[in-house]
Amino acid sequence: MLKLGVNIDHVATLREARYRGRGFGEPDPIEAARMCEAAGAHGVTAHLREDRRHIQDRDIRKLREIVTTRLNLEMANAPEIVTLALELKPDIVCMVPERRQEVTTEGGLDVAAHLLALATTRQRLNDAGIEVSFFIAPDAAQVEAAAKAGAQFIELHTGALAEHFSEPAQREGELARLAAAARQAHELGLRVNAGHGLNYGNLPFLRHVPHLVELNIGHSIVSRAVAVGLPAAVKEMLELMQDYQG
Produce one character per residue of 213-233: b if its CB has 16 or more CB atoms within 10 Å, e if not: bbbbbbbbbbebbeeeebeeb
Selecting among 37, 74, 98, 174, the annotated active-site residue is 74
Selecting among 10, 42, 157, 196, the annotated active-site residue is 196
User: What are the backbone angles phi and psi of residue 154, rounded to the nearest 5°?
Assistant: -120, 155
Selecting among 42, 47, 54, 157, the annotated active-site residue is 47
Reference 91, options 59, 129, 62; nearest CA is 129
Residue 196 among the catalytic residues: yes
* 163-172: long-range pairs with CB below 8 Å, 24+: 163/197, 165/201, 165/202, 165/205, 171/205
Asked if 108 contacts 135 with a C-beta cutoff of 8 angstroms, the reply is: yes
How far is residue 112's CA from residue 43's CA, in Å, rounded to a whole number?
A: 28
Residue 74 among the catalytic residues: yes
How far is residue 134's CA from residue 244's CA, in Å, rounded to a whole number?
A: 23
Q: Which helix (H) or strand (E) holds 237?
A: helix 230-241
**Helices 29-38 and 230-241: crossing angle, nearest 10°?**
40
Dihedral angle over CA of 29, 136, 186, 8, nearest 10: 10
Residue 157 among the catalytic residues: no
* Helix, strand, coil % in the chain, rounded to nearest 5: 50, 15, 35
Residues marked active site are found at 47, 74, 196
